[in-house]
Chains A and B, each alone.
Chain A
Amino acid sequence: MKSNTNINLETKGLSVKITGIVFWGMVLVGILLSFVMMKTAEHDLKNHHNDIFNHFLYEIEREIKDYGLSDSKKIMKDLTDQAKQLGVSAFHIDYDTSILSHGEPSNDDEKFTTTLLRRNKELHITLFQPSIDKQLNLQRKKLIISMGVLFAIFGLVLQWILQKMLAKPFVSMVKTAKAITLGDTKIRFYEKGNDEFGYLGRFINEALDSTLEQQENLKKAIFKEHKSRELAEVTLHSIGDAVITTNKNGIVEYANPTAERLLGQSLAGIRGKYIERILNLVSERTSQPVTNPVIRCIHEETLSFNEEDIILIRKDGQEIDIKESTAPIRDQKGNIIGIVLVFHDVSNTRKMARQLSYQASHDSLTGLYNRHEFETRLVDALRTNHAQGTQHALCYMDLDQFKVVNDSCGHIAGDQLLCQVSDILKKQVRESDTLARLGGDEFGVLLNNCELEQARTIAEKFKDSLSGYRFSWNDNIYEIGISIGVVALSAEKTGGTISDVLTAADIACYAAKDAGRNRIHLFEPGDKDLEKRHGEMRWVSRIHKALDENRFELYYQDIVPTNPDKNILHREFLLRLFDEEGNLVPPMSFIPSAERYNLMTNIDKWVIYNGLTQFKRHQDAGIHYICSINISGQSLTQDDFLHHVVNTISETGVEPSKICFEITETAAIANMADASKFMATLKEMGCLFALDDFGSGLSSFGYLKNMDVDYLKIDGCFVKNMLEDDVDHAMVKSITDVGHLMNLKTIAEFVETQDIMDELKEIGVDYGQGFGLCKPAPLSDLLPYEEDSSLDNSNIA
């Protein structure tokens, strides 16, 4: 308001000043002019005043001269006109008896009297005229009024002109300026005139436009800057990373809410403090303090981050895993003006990484190291063994009876057994040793800096620790043993690779197992048992090759009924292998290797496919018998094998009731659950089952209750001497009796003479099989005229 008042005063002041100067100037000029004119006018007036009477006398004389005194009317008229013209108020002329008179004199008129003698007559003349003061006063009034009015009018006109030319544009400019001052940015100065005001208006308008444009740009820039700053601040406040900025000396200037949360301190509490006072960092690995990243960045002047895993220790003692990075903040010249530290909580990530690392290196069931970690450490041990000449040893352990527990009590029991055994073994190893579960019921221990004999002692401890252990499950108690193969990590003894070492250990372990289980076997080069194992291993590739080259052939051996009227002939399909030279290889040369190295399923598939295919042809050719095919224990546990059998039966179209699968008593009992499933599926289709080698393995009549078989094949060891050995005879008879009681038919193996066959018939055995009845012959002999070109192993998975 004060500025408005000032503006009003200033604008009015200028207008008033212009008007005042002009007006009063005119007044002064008028006064001076009036005085000058007044002097002259007064002088003239006084002269005129003095001449009036003489002039009037002159006029009287001239009239008398021209007209005489007789024509008084004419004289009167002329003198009256003259009196008016001269400003004479009144006059009296007396001559003889006549009086010429005009006007009435006022009291203050001056009176002039004289007597003239004309034509002998006296003329008394009296003249009245206004006094000189009165005339002067009147003259002054007229002059002053006229001058006053004239100069007033002139002054007003001049004022109007000046007002219009100067004051009005100026006031307009001031009003515009005032409006602009009050914030009206659209208003502009009048700029159309060609005078100085127009030029000034244009100039100011341009300057104003430029200023406004700059102002607008500045506003936009400020707004943009403000928005960017706001966005940056919001971002800093919103991000999950903690951000701390310091000056170039490491004094904290800013911390976002995440930083406050992770530090457990407010910004107000840490602002202005030295960074090392608020950021206590230690190495996760060593638990030792690490160089503060901000200090490091101040010294290095580059973006940096710590490779090490770092833990932030808060003021309240809480530890948080963090990952940090620091970067210098530079000004436009590149000088460091501060440091920004960014870090985030990686507790979950590290926890997960630790979990993943643990899971990757440990067995989830037992908590021991897994095979991968074991092999990694084994590689390290082999490397140090070579480089430093240190001696390490490896124990390869396999639980005895684990399969029995697993199959008879279930997987849960098996898992429980493994956990308990793991706990026992864990107590026996040194801290420097590596105990791992290598798979199934196999364990390995890497004994660092351990001689072979010392390793043997430790292995003994393992074995002894389990010797008193009994696994209890559902009121059943199992004695658990362990077979251990011990190997020294020596390039001379085992070879230099991990594969060599593990193979040697595996072989040693199997040697221990073969030697009667729950034993320790040290791997020594030249060991006969181990050479045998090596031989078995060589069979692996030979079996694969034989399958690829289709060098297997099926033979058959009749299973002759003791009473042909009651029972139909059986033929057992037997597998034979021909080596590369075409020589026949006895089954027992390769079957153990195939069983040990899990090749039996492939062989069984080959037998099933080729056997059933040929059997179908025999049926089609009118050769009727029941074919018996042996199934290994390994195949029973393979789901895909069961599918293969079912599919092959369907594809070949043989009658399932004409097929009898022979499962060894040991295999059936060892894989009870899988065997039951296998038998149930195929029995449903109509297939028959025979329990092979009954009496020689884990014989128990109790198992027969749970196994839905049709035939019992009495192990040949009882049959071949039954005529001489009463016990064998009794065994054969009792098995036969029990079988019959259970509606099972019995088959006696190893019938080498007709006498045995006769005796079998006598005691009620239903079938006999052996060299005395029928020697094995190629199956293809049953249809000699047909080329078996279509048979191969292409259908074997």
Chain B
Amino acid sequence: MTERTLRLLVGLLILIALYLELPELIFGLIVFMLFEGITNLRLPILLSKIQGIDNTPQQHTDEPEQKSKFSFEAERAMRFAASALLGVSYFVLNEHLWFIPWFMGFAFLGAGISGVCPMLMGFKQLGFK
């Protein structure tokens, strides 16, 4: 599993949860992303390790490598940001920001399909690794 696949999967789950109005699933996804962000035990890495594939963190993004300002990984930052945004827009300000979860669902899905994640690119532009 790659990060791209994971993003595709997360996007689909968000959209399913929104459509079927499954706040538990949204919550679970927020927790999952937070866990990954905090521990850096990301599912693609773990699965690769289990399968015995050398999948050391490498440039999975489709952007040319940039010189990073911080040692913190952009993938982890993206997970923090996504989980926060999803949590706030879905559980706190849903009446006004109801469209954000939908947007995030499609964004994850689109990132998975296209291989381009604007948020990740943005974090990398900011100097994350």
Chain B residues with CB under 8 Å of chain A are 15, 18-19, 59, 62-65, 98-99, 102-103, 106-107, 109-110, 113-116, 118
Q: Is A31's CB under 8 angstroms from B103's CB?
A: yes
In whole angstroms, what is the CA distance A20 to B4 when docked?
A: 13
A155 CA to B111 CA, complexed, in Å: 12
In whole angstroms, how far apart are the Cα atoms of A16 and B61 in the complex?
10
Chain B positions within 8 Å of A144 at CB level: 99, 102
- Which of A13, A19, A20, A148 has the largest count of B CB atoms less than 10 A from its CB? A20
Q: How many A-B residue pairs have CB under 8 A?
A: 60
Instruction: Out of A13, A17, A35, A156, name the residue touching B113 (CB < 8 Å).
Output: A156
Q: Within the complex, which residue of A12, A19, A30, A140 is in contact with B114, where a contact is CB–CB below 8 Å?
A: A19
* Contact in complex: B114, A152 (CB < 8 Å): no
Q: How would residues 1 to 45 of chain A score, 1 for a CB under 8 Å from any chain B CB and 0 otherwise? A: 000000001101101110110011001001100110000000000
- Contact at B114–A159, with CB atoms within 8 Å? yes
A140 to B62, CA, bound (A): 33
Known: A19-B116, A152-B109. A12 touches B18 (CB 8 A): no
What is the distance, in angstroms, from B50's C-beta to the closest C-beta of chain A? 27
Question: What residues of A have a CB within 8 angstroms of the CB of B114 in the complex?
Answer: 16, 19-20, 23-24, 159
Residue of B at shortest CB range from A145? Answer: B19
Are B116 and A16 neighbours in the complex by a CB distance under 8 Å? yes
B100 CB to closest chain A CB, in angstroms?
Answer: 11
A27 close to B107 (CB less than 8 A): yes
CB of A315 within 8 Å of the partner chain: no
A383 at the interface (CB under 8 A from B): no
B110 contacts A23, C-beta separation under 8 Å = yes
A contact residues vs B (CB 8 Å cutoff): 9-10, 12-13, 15-17, 19-20, 23-24, 27, 30-31, 34-35, 137, 140-141, 144-145, 148, 152, 155-156, 159
Name the residue of chain A whose CB is nearest to the CB of B121.
A20
The minimal Cβ–Cβ distance linking B58 to chain A, given in whole angstroms, is 11
| Contact, CB under 8 Å: B103 / A13 | no
A12 and B109 in contact, given A20-B116, A23-B116 (Cβ under 8 angstroms): no
Q: A31 to B106, alpha carbons, bound, how many Å?
A: 10
How far apart are B38's CB and chain A's nearest CB, in angstroms?
28
CB distance from B68 to the nearest CB of A (A): 16
A144 to B19, CA, bound (A): 10
Instruction: Assess whether B115 is in contact with A148, with CB atoms less than 8 Å apart.
Output: no
Q: Is the CB of A12 within 8 A of B62?
A: yes
Q: What's the least CB distance linking A497 to chain B, in Å?
A: 111
Q: What is the distance, in angstroms, from B105's C-beta to the closest C-beta of chain A?
A: 8
Contacts of B62 in A (CB 8 A): 12-13, 15-17, 20
A19's nearest neighbour on chain B, judged by CB, is B114
Contact of B18 among A20, A24, A35, A141 (CB under 8 A): A141
List A contacts of B116 (CB < 8 A).
16-17, 19-20, 23-24
* In contact, A24 and B110 (Cβ under 8 angstroms): yes
For this complex, 16 residue pairs linking A to B, each with C-beta atoms less than 8 Å apart, are A10-B64, A12-B62, A16-B62, A16-B63, A17-B62, A19-B114, A24-B110, A24-B114, A24-B118, A31-B99, A137-B98, A140-B102, A141-B19, A148-B106, A152-B110, A156-B113
